Amino acid sequence: MAGLAATNCRQNLSGPSAGGGGGDDGALHIYTWANYTDDGLADAFTERTGIPVVVDIFDSNEIMLTRMQAGGGDAYSILYPSDYMVSEMLELNLLTELDQSRITGLENLKAQWANPAYDPNNAHSIPFCWGTTGLLYNREVSPGEPIDWDFLWENQDALSRRITMLDDMRETLGATLKSLGYSYNSSNPAEIEAAYNRLLELQPHIAAFKTTGFENELLGGDLSVSMAYSSDAIALTLEDDRMEYIIPDSGASLWTDTLAIPATAPNVDAAYQWINFLLEPETASAAVERLYFATANQAAFERLPADIQNNQDLYPPEEVLAKSEGIVAVDADSTDLFDQFWTEVTSA
Amino acid sequence: MRPNSSAPQPDPTHPPIPLMPRLTWPSLFTALMYAFMYFPIIVLGVYSFNDSRYSASWDGFSLRWYRALFSDRRLLSALQDSLTIAVVAVAISAVLGTLMAIGLARYRFRGKALYRGVSYLPLIIPDIAIAVATLVFLVSMAVPLSLATIIAAHMVFCLAYIAVVVSSRLQRLDPNLEEAALDLGATPTQAMIQVLIPQLAPAIFAGCLLAFVLSMDDLLISSFTAGGGANPLPIEIFSRVRTGVKPDINALSVVLILGSALLAGLAEYVRYRSDRIRQST
Amino acid sequence: MTPASAPIPSTTWAARLAPRRWLGPVVLLAPAGVWLLLLLVLPTLLILEISLVPGLRLGQPSGGYGLGNYLQILQPVYLRVIGRSLAFAVGSTLLCLVLGFPVAYWLALLSPRRWRNLLLVGFILPLWTSSLLRAYAWTTILRPSGVFNTMLTTLGLPAQNWLNTPTAVFIGLTYSFLPYMVLILYASLEKLDTRLLEAAADLGATPRQSFWKITVPQTLPGIAAASLLVFISTLSDFVVPTLLGGASSMNISRLIYNQFLGPTRAWGFGSALSMVLILAVSLAIALLLRYGDRNTVTEA
């Protein structure tokens, strides 16, 4: 029996996800990043459609992918993968091809997302919001005003155990690559190793690898600097004057988070309803006013109050964006290197 | 205790039957350790009434986190998931674990040592290893993860703990009662249900309580076997602690601690009662 | 392994079952046996198999068998993880023993008899509450602006930044497992023959002498059982190092967790780590059975 199981097992482990037949309790299960939905958004949707919304949070694209592949993601009808993860999931056949006739409001999107490189013609994903990855700091306790990633290394003693970095392989190793003048998407083993060594030097001074959850400690002064997504950072800068967010001078990552329907989605109708709901300018702009993410929806952007439209953290000027770089899927060998160095640096 | 043990007390100020132990260094040290055990719980309790969102400084008394807690549908549904898992897993395990304990006490067979060894494994193998193995097994069998898979995985350790507790009671049991029942014409099944099970009831209850508490507290095995939207309480708490705690978690702690204290009190009461019954028979 | 094979009647009345004597053992032992076989033994064999496939990743084709995953564990960075796990386990076990023994001693021998049960229950009551929340409570205490530093500065001592360091992990582990230590030591000390102590005192032994010559040797099996139990639990703990240790305290459980539910999906490597952990724990158990008091463990 064990032998039979073993043969079976190897096939299932190397094939696509073991999905199918997850419980459909009538609710819309969403797997997303922190701070993209709140009770207000979910309640408005439920009021409109009668479908309850259940939101689960992931820390990184890779963890979301693992969940989906391991079969724990059967209940989800909506995922929020980032750009490069959309490409990866497409290759693994994990996403449903969208029926464009069931989607209304695509014309509201900003022109730059009409035909994105990661998913031509938005065939499997709908751009939801975009942003940068930079440094969020508390002016009261930080030993200075960071302008670049180097700030962390130069002040590592003063910042010891008062830094958090994203719990995200491509972002954190990528930022280190950038600080060395390399690309986020380097596939040069020597460059990736140099970044690993540099991150290893900072490692003893890092309090924790956290994608979210640093907010209270940063506000309380227990942390000085946190590497953060702009969408998470801006809410804090608006809430508290001591909080500042910067996009490092040598460049940051520029990302798009999307809405996608997994191949195993149990409640596809509700998923389309959710996508259409978020494409409505009124819904999107109301959500932005509460949650402060940079919407990819031009019609929603135009409805926003001027102070949010002009917020440079949220919508950075062109010259800042020009220095930034989108993370793209890298070849298998480089992925292995990223994996290996990430495991080692987090184990050190 | 000898009746005259406190009579030759050299200290005249000492009462004949001391209500408080003398302040010796072990008693002082023990008091300190009690403080150590309760300090974090008290801190959580105090902060659960703190008006401040960042919970570092005291901003005044408030019940807002308790209000937030009781209107938090997600937390309540996580609690419901946890209770469902624990109750179902413990109920089935109570039957399977008790039968296993009786079977192990009653029969000798080839491979018994191996069987017994395997039944101890869930107590010995670390949770993380069990969790990982269960996930690999479920994925390789293409079983979709759901509430049911969590229950199935919890049953493994629940029945092992229940069997251990029941076994230790069985060893101290008087076999004559059951034999008498058989001699009086009861069938073996009747003898088991009407004579043996009532004698084992306190142990079964104690085992179930232990399994229930372990199931309610399990994070790792649930994390690896959860799917289909099942979201038991420890997973929800872990996710909230990592993604930024609002102080309603403090309020939740206080509620859970009071609930567990009640449960512990109940367990102790049952144990006390069964001790009394055992002494009187 | 079939539980039904050749049942030997152990009591006289069991002979009455003769016509269907396979039925009893099957009904009693098969359900739990099948369950354990299916959801414990088989899965463990599966991870043993997977651990022998180098570089196996979820969702990717895998190659043939080999020892690559085990060789990967021998890299310095992972040996340090194992060393760190052992250090956490040994250190917190010793701390639990040093702190727990006096408590168990007082509870078992010195506390007022009529309150004894209640006092014991009071000490282990925190075990009944969520281990996650108890660990989380320590983050509130140990954060730089937390209660602990407020206390230190009030006393005129320098503030400490212990959160996210191994120190915090030691505190958290000791706190979490101290009640187990006290519970088992109590069971052992309760059985101590106090007449021996009285006799020793009559023969002029000092309390210190009788402690080291009588109390400790008499309770050694209990000490061994309690220490090994705490050692095993702390070796594989996940919650405390994750919540209190931050980036500084990757231990074997966290590493295994990350291989399976983390970004890299290195299930082969994770399985190998799992097998190493099972092996380490089995060794500790073997030691316990060899030198420890079996009954004390079962009762605990």
Residue A2 forms part of a structural domain: no
| Residue in A185, A163, A337, A181 with CA at minimum distance from that of residue A254 | A185
Nearest to A71 among B144, B230, B239 (CB): B144
User: Do residues A78 and A102 both lie within one domain?
Assistant: yes
What gap in Å lies between CA A167 and CA A210, rounded to an integer? 5
Q: Residue C21 has which token pair?
A: 């004597």
Which chain C residues are closer than 8 Å to B30 by Cβ?
102-103, 106-107, 111
Which long-range CB contacts under 8 A does A293-296 form with residues at least 24 apart?
A: A293/A35, A293/A36, A293/A129, A293/A131, A293/A231, A294/A129, A294/A130, A294/A131, A294/A230, A294/A231, A295/A128, A295/A129, A296/A109, A296/A110, A296/A113, A296/A127, A296/A128, A296/A129, A296/A130, A296/A256
User: Do residues A303 and A162 both lie within one domain?
Assistant: no
Domain that holds residue A293: 25-130+255-315
pLDDT at position C275, please? 97
pLDDT at position A66, please? 87
Residue B236 forms part of a structural domain: yes
Report residue B55's pLDDT band, with 50, 70 and 90 as the boundaries.
low
Nearest to B139 among A25, A71, A212 (CB): A71
**Pairing verdict, β A76-79 and A206-209:** unpaired
Using CB atoms, list chains with 3+ pairs below 8 Å to chain A: B, C
pTM of the model: 0.90
Domain that holds residue B128: 76-171+200-280
User: Do residues A291 and A339 both lie within one domain?
Assistant: no
Which chain B residues are closer than 8 Å to A74 by Cβ?
144-146, 227-228
C→A contacts (Cβ < 8 Å), by residue, are 42, 45-46, 49-50, 53, 56, 58-62, 75, 77-78, 80-81, 143-146, 161, 163-165, 246-248, 250, 255, 258-267
User: Do residues A206 and A140 both lie within one domain?
Assistant: yes
Residue B183 forms part of a structural domain: no
User: Do residues A46 and A113 both lie within one domain?
Assistant: yes
Whether residue A159 is predicted with pLDDT greater than 50 in this model: the reply is yes
Q: What structural domains does chain C harbor?
A: 12-51 (no CATH), 68-299 (1.10.3720.10)
CB contact under 8 A, A222 and B56: yes
CA-nearest residue of chain B to A34? B243
What gap in Å lies between CA B239 and CA C84, rounded to an integer? 25
B96 touches chain C (CB under 8 A): yes
Probe site for chain A from C62, C264, C267, C271 (most A CB atoms < 10 A): C264
Residue B157 forms part of a structural domain: yes
Residue A123, phi then psi, degrees to nearest 5: -70, -25
Q: Mean pLDDT over residues A304-321, rounded?
A: 89
| Percentage of the residues of chain B whose pLDDT score is greater than 90 | 43
pLDDT at position C289, please? 77
pLDDT at position B280, please? 60
pLDDT at position A224, please? 96
Residue B59 forms part of a structural domain: no
User: Do residues A108 and A205 both lie within one domain?
Assistant: no
B269 touches chain C (CB under 8 A): no
User: Do residues A287 and A339 both lie within one domain?
Assistant: no
pLDDT at position A239, please? 85
Partners of residue B157 on adjacent β-strands: none
The identity of residue A173, as a single letter, is L
Helix runs in chain B, H state only: 25-47, 64-70, 73-106, 112-124, 127-140, 147-171, 176-183, 188-191, 197-217, 220-225, 233-242, 248-280
Q: How far is CA A1 from CA A7, C42, C45, in A?
A: 10, 9, 11
Residue A30 forms part of a structural domain: yes
User: What CATH number is given to the structural domain containing B115?
Assistant: 1.10.3720.10
- Model confidence over A49-78: pLDDT tens digits? 999 998 888 888 988 998 888 877 888 999
B184 touches chain C (CB under 8 A): no
Whether residue A214 is predicted with pLDDT greater than 50 in this model: the reply is yes
* B45 compared with B16, residue with greater pLDDT: B45
User: Do residues A194 and A205 both lie within one domain?
Assistant: yes
Closest approach of chain C CAs to the CA of A167, in angstroms? Answer: 9
Report residue C95's pLDDT band, with 50, 70 and 90 as the boundaries.
very high
Q: Residue B230 contacts by C-beta under 8 Å, 6 or more apart in sequence?
A: A23, B81, B85, B145, B146, B147, B150
- Model confidence over C124-170: pLDDT tens digits? 888 888 899 999 999 989 999 888 999 999 999 998 999 999 999 99
Which chain C residues are closer than 8 Å to A5 by Cβ?
42, 46
Would the annotation count A84 as a binding residue? yes
User: Do residues A67 and A210 both lie within one domain?
Assistant: no
pLDDT at position A157, please? 94
- Model confidence over B134-161: pLDDT tens digits? 999 999 888 888 899 999 999 999 999 9
User: Do residues A208 and A338 both lie within one domain?
Assistant: yes
Closest approach of chain A CAs to the CA of B9, in angstroms? Answer: 56
Q: Residue A172 has which token pair?
A: 């954190």
Residue B14 forms part of a structural domain: no
Report residue B116's pLDDT band, with 50, 70 and 90 as the boundaries.
very high
CB contact under 8 A, A13 and B136: yes
* B158 compared with B228, residue with greater pLDDT: B158
The rounded mean pLDDT for chain B is 85
Q: Please classify residue A187 by burial: count the beta carbons closer than 10 Å to its beta carbon, then call 0-12 exposed, 13-18 middle and 19+ buried.
A: middle
pLDDT at position C105, please? 93
What gap in Å lies between CA A324 and CA A252, rounded to an integer? 5
pLDDT at position A24, please? 67
Q: Mean pLDDT over residues C3-13, rounded?
A: 47
**Pairing verdict, β A76-79 and A28-32:** parallel
Closest approach of chain A CAs to the CA of C21, in angstroms? Answer: 27
Would the annotation count A168 as a binding residue? yes
Q: Residue A242 has which token pair?
A: 């001591």
Mapped onto helix, strand or coil, the DSSP state of residue C127 is helix
pLDDT at position C58, please? 83
Total domain count, chain B? 1
Q: Mean pLDDT over residues C278-291, rounded?
A: 85
Closest approach of chain A CAs to the CA of B228, in angstroms? Answer: 4
Which range among A202-211, A308-317, B209-218 shows the weakest confidence by mean pLDDT? A308-317
CA-nearest residue of chain B to A218? B54
Q: How many CB atoms lie within 10 A of CB A323?
A: 15
Which range among A9-18, A176-185, B198-207, C47-56 shows the weakest confidence by mean pLDDT? A9-18
- Model confidence over A76-135: pLDDT tens digits? 999 999 999 999 999 989 999 999 999 998 888 888 888 898 999 999 999 999 999 999
Report residue C2's pLDDT band, with 50, 70 and 90 as the boundaries.
very low
The rounded mean pLDDT for chain C is 87
Which chain B residues are closer than 8 Å to A29 by Cβ?
229
CB contact under 8 A, B179 and C42: no
What gap in Å lies between CA B25 and CA B8, rounded to an integer? 22
User: Do residues A140 and A248 both lie within one domain?
Assistant: yes
What gap in Å lies between CA B79 and CA A73, rounded to an integer? 20
Total domain count, chain A? 2
| Percentage of the residues of chain C whose pLDDT score is greater than 70 | 90
pLDDT at position C210, please? 87
Whether residue A4 is predicted with pLDDT greater than 60 in this model: the reply is no
Residue B53 forms part of a structural domain: no
CB contact under 8 A, C61 and A14: yes
Residue A14 forms part of a structural domain: no
User: What CATH number is given to the structural domain containing A295?
Assistant: 3.40.190.10
Residue located via tokens 């034999």: B179
pLDDT at position C292, please? 57
Q: Mean pLDDT over residues A291-313, rounded?
A: 90
* C299 compared with C41, residue with greater pLDDT: C41
User: Do residues A171 and A153 both lie within one domain?
Assistant: yes
Residue B128 forms part of a structural domain: yes
